[in-house]
Structure 1
Amino acid sequence: MSKEKEVDVCIIGSGAGGAVVAYALGRAGFSVAVLEAGPRFDPIRYHMNKKEWEKNPYPFGGPPEEKAKNLYTYGIPEKLNPSYEYLRSKSKIRGFYNNTDRRKPPSIQRVKGVGGTTLHYQGEAHRFSAYGFKPKSLYGVAEDWPLGYEDLEPYYEEVETFLGVSGTNQNPFKPPRGPFPHPPHELSCASKRVKVGFDKLGLHLLPNSLNILSRPYDGRPACNYCNGCYYGCMMRAKGSMDVTFLPKAEAMGNVEIKPNSVVREITVNKHGRVNGVIYFDSKKVEKRQKAKMVVLSAGALESPRLLLNSRSSLFPDGLANTSGMVGKFFMETIVYAVTVLFTEQIHSYKGLQIDSRAWDYNEPRKENSFFGGVVFGVSALDLLGPLRYAKSLAPGWGSEHKDFMRKYFGHAINIFAIGEQLPQENNTISIDPEVKDYYGIPVAKVTTKLSKNDLEMLSFMSKKCKEIAKAAGAEEIVREFSSYDLSMISHMGGTCRMGINPNKSVVNSYCQSHDIKNLFIIDSSCFVTQGGGDSPSLTIHAIALRASDYIVSEVKKGNI
Structure 2
Amino acid sequence: MAKEDRSRDEIADVLIIGAGASGSVAAKHLAEAGFKVVCLEQGRKIDPGEFTGDKPEWELTAQRDWHPNPNVRDLEEDYPIETSDSDVNPLMFNGVGGSTILYAAHWQRFKPSDFHVKTLDGIAEDWPFSYADLLPYYEALDIEMGVSGLGGDPAYPPGKAPPLPPLPINKAGRKAAEGMNKLGWHWWPSPNNIPSRAYNGRNPCVRRGTCLTGCPEGAKGSTDLTHWPAALKAGARLVTGARVSQIETDGNGLATGAVYFDRAGRERRQRASVVIVCGNAVGTARLLLLSGKGSNSALANSSGLVGTHLMMHPYAAVNGLFDEPLESWIGPSGQMIHSLEFVESDPSRGFLRGGKWQVMPSGGPLGLRAGYTGKAIEDHWGLNLHRSTKQTFGRSFEWGITAEDLPDIANRVVLDEALTDSDGIPSPKIIYKNSDNTRKLLDFHVARAREAMGAAGATDITSTSLMRDCGWHLMGTARMGHDPETSVVDQWCRSHDVPNLYVMDGSTFVTSSASNPTATITAIAFRAVSHLIAHRREQEIAA
Tell me the TM-score normalized by structure 2: 0.91
Asked if 2 retains the 8 angstrom alpha-carbon contact of 1:330 and 1:424, the reply is yes
Say if 2:43 and 2:77, in contact at 8 Å, map to a contact too: no
Alignment partner of 1:358 out of 303, 326, 339: 339
Contact (CA 8 Å) 2:151, 2:162: kept in 1 or not?
Answer: yes
Give 1:400 shift. Answer: 7.0
- Report the CA distance between 1:158 and its aligned residue: 0.9
- Say if 2:160 is the partner of 1:181: no
Please give the root-mean-square deviation of Cα atoms over the aligned residues, in Å: 2.5
Q: Match for 1:287 among 241, 264, 268?
A: 268
Q: Which residue of 1 aligns with 2:463?
A: 480
Partner of 1:32: 37
Q: Partners of 1:447 and 1:318 in 2: how far apart?
A: 17
Q: Deviations over 1:274-311 (max 9, x none)?
A: 10101111212111111111000000100011000112
Query: Superposition pairs for residues 82-161 of structure 1, below 5 Å?
Result: 105-161=87-143
CA distance 1:396–1:486, change in 2 (3 Å): closer
Contact (CA 8 Å) 2:91, 2:472: kept in 1 or not?
no
**2:475 equivalent to 1:509:** no
1:320 has 2:300 as partner: yes
Identify if the C-alpha distance between structure 1 residues 249 and 429 changes in structure 2 by more than 3 Å, giving closer, same or farther.
same
Q: Which residue identity lines up with residue 435 of structure 1 in the other structure?
A: L
* Contact 1:188/1:352, CA 8 A, preserved across alignment: no
Which residue number in structure 2 is paired with residue 8 of structure 1? 13
In structure 1, distance between residues paired with 2:262 and 2:126: 40
Q: Which residue of 2 aligns with 1:490?
A: 472
**C-alpha distance 39-390 of structure 1, shift in aligned 2 (>3 A):** closer
Secondary structure, aligned partner of 2:28? helix
> Are 1:55 and 2:37 counterparts?
no
| Aligned counterpart for 2:389 among listed residues 389, 405, 427 | 405
Cα distance in 1 between the residues matched to 2:201 and 2:144: 12
CA contact (8 A) 1:345 1:408 kept: no
Letter in 2 for 1:259: T
Query: Is the contact made by 1:125 and 1:210 (CA closer than 8 Å) also made in structure 2?
Result: yes
Residues 340, 140 of structure 1: alpha-carbon distance in 2 compared, 3 angstrom cutoff: same
For 1:220 and 1:19, the matched residues in 2 are separated by 17
Determine if contact 2:27/2:37 at 8 Å carries over to the other structure: yes
In the alignment, does 2:444 pair up with 1:444?
no
Q: How far, CA to CA, are the matches of 1:4 and 1:62 in structure 2?
A: 35
1:372 aligns with 2:385: no
Cα displacement (A) at 1:555: 1.7
Q: Which moved more, 1:431-440 or 1:19-28?
A: 431-440
Q: Hey, what's the Cα distance between the residues in 2 that align with 1:194 and 1:408? A: 17
Secondary structure of 1:258's aligned partner: strand
Shift in CA distance, 471/288, structure 1 to aligned 2, threshold 3 Å: same
CA deviation profile, 1:447-476 (whole Å, cap 9, x unmatched): 111222111101111211111111111111
For 2:193, which of 211, 233, 257 is the aligned residue? 211
| Deviation sequence 1:409-432 (CA, Å, 0-9, x none) | 111221221111111111111111
Q: Is contact 2:500-2:539 (8 Å) kept?
A: no
Q: SS at the partner of 2:21?
A: coil
Given candidates 492, 511, 524, the residue that maps to 1:529 is 511
Deviation at 1:434, TM superposition (A): 2.3
- Inter-CA distance 59–276: structure 2 relative to 1 (3 Å threshold): farther
Conservation of the 8 A alpha-carbon contact between 2:149 and 2:167: yes
User: Which digits, 9 at most, give the CA deviation of each residue in 1:257-283, with x for residues without a partner?
Assistant: 111111011001111111010111121
Q: Name the structure 1 match of 2:3.
A: none
Q: For residue 83 of structure 2, what is the aligned residue in structure 1?
A: 74
Structure 1 gap ranges (5+): 78-104
8 Å contact 2:312–2:474 — kept in the other structure? Answer: yes
- Is the CA contact 1:66–1:437 (under 8 Å) kept in the aligned structure 2? no
Q: In 2, are the aligned partners of 1:165 and 1:182 still within 8 Å (CA)?
A: yes
Higher mean displacement: 298-307 or 165-174:
165-174
Indicate yes or no: 2:398 matched with 1:414: yes
CA distance in structure 2 between the aligned counterparts of 1:215 and 1:23, rounded to whole angstroms = 24
Partner amino acid, structure 1, of 2:157: P
2:527 matched to which residue of 1? 546
Deviates more, 1:335-344 or 1:550-559: 550-559
Q: Aligned in 2, Cα 1:116/1:64: closer, same or farther, shift over 3 Å? A: closer
Identical counterparts, % of pairs:
34
Letter in 1 for 2:364: G
Please give the secondary structure, in 2, of the residue aligned with 1:276.
strand
Amino acid corresponding to residue 219 of structure 1 in structure 2: G
* AA matched with 1:9: V
Check conservation: 1:123, 1:211, Cα contact below 8 A: yes
TM-superposed CA distance for 1:195, in Å, is 1.7
The one-character-per-residue Cα deviations of 1:522-541 (angstroms, maximum 9, x if unpaired) are 0000000112x101011111
In structure 1, what is the Cα distance between the partners aligned to 2:22 and 2:74? Answer: 28
The one-letter code of the counterpart of 2:454 is K
Aligned to 1:332, which of 303, 307, 312?
312
Q: Does the residue aligned with 1:168 lie in a helix, a strand or coil?
A: coil
Secondary structure of residue in 2 paired with 1:333: coil
**Alpha-carbon distance, 1:62 to partner:** 12
Distance, in Å, in 2 between the alignment partners of 1:336 and 1:371 is 17
Q: Does the CA contact (< 8 Å) of 2:320 and 2:398 recur in 1?
A: yes
Aligned partners of 1:451 and 1:185: how far apart in 2? 36
SS in 2 for 1:413: strand
User: In the aligned structure 2, how far is the partner of 1:377 from the partner of 1:459?
Assistant: 17
Which is further off, 29-38 or 545-554?
Answer: 545-554
Amino acid at match of 1:344: E
Counterpart for residue 249 of structure 1: 231
For 2:509, give the aligned amino acid: F
> CA separation in 2, counterparts of 1:558 and 1:400?
63
After TM superposition, give the deviation of residue 138 of structure 1 in Å: 2.1
Out of 384-393 and 462-471, give the one that drifted further: 384-393
Q: Which amino acid aligns with 1:130?
A: P
Structure 1 counterpart SS, 2:345? coil
Per the TM alignment, residue 72 of structure 1 is displaced from its structure 2 partner at its CA by 1.2
Q: Secondary structure at the match of 2:325?
A: coil
Check 1:52–1:558 CA distance in 2 against 1; reply closer, same or farther (3 A cut): closer
**Cα distance, 1:389 vs. partner?**
7.2
Partner of 2:326: 346
- Conserved? CA contact 1:304–1:327, under 8 Å: yes
Query: Secondary structure of the equivalent of 1:471?
Result: helix
The match for 1:82 is none
CA distance in 2, matches of 1:282, 1:197: 53
Structure 2: state its 5+ residue gaps: 1-5
Match of 1:386 in 2: 365
Using the alignment, how far apart are the partners of 1:198 and 1:416 within structure 2?
A: 14
Please name the residue that 1:236 is paired with: 218
Whole-Å Cα distance in 2 between the matches of residues 428 and 395 of structure 1? 34
3-state secondary structure, aligned to 1:35:
strand
- Aligned: 1:305 with 2:310: no
Shift of 1:68: 11
Rate the CA distance shift 1:292–1:59 in 2: closer, same or farther, 3 A: farther
In structure 2, the CA distance between the partners of 1:121 and 1:461, relative to structure 1 (3 Å rule), is same
2:172 and 2:327 in contact (8 A); partners too: yes
Determine if contact 1:394/1:405 at 8 Å carries over to the other structure. no
Distance 1:71 1:348 in 2: 35
What CA distance in whole angstroms lies between the structure 2 residues aligned with 1:435 and 1:399? 40
Q: How many residues align?
A: 525
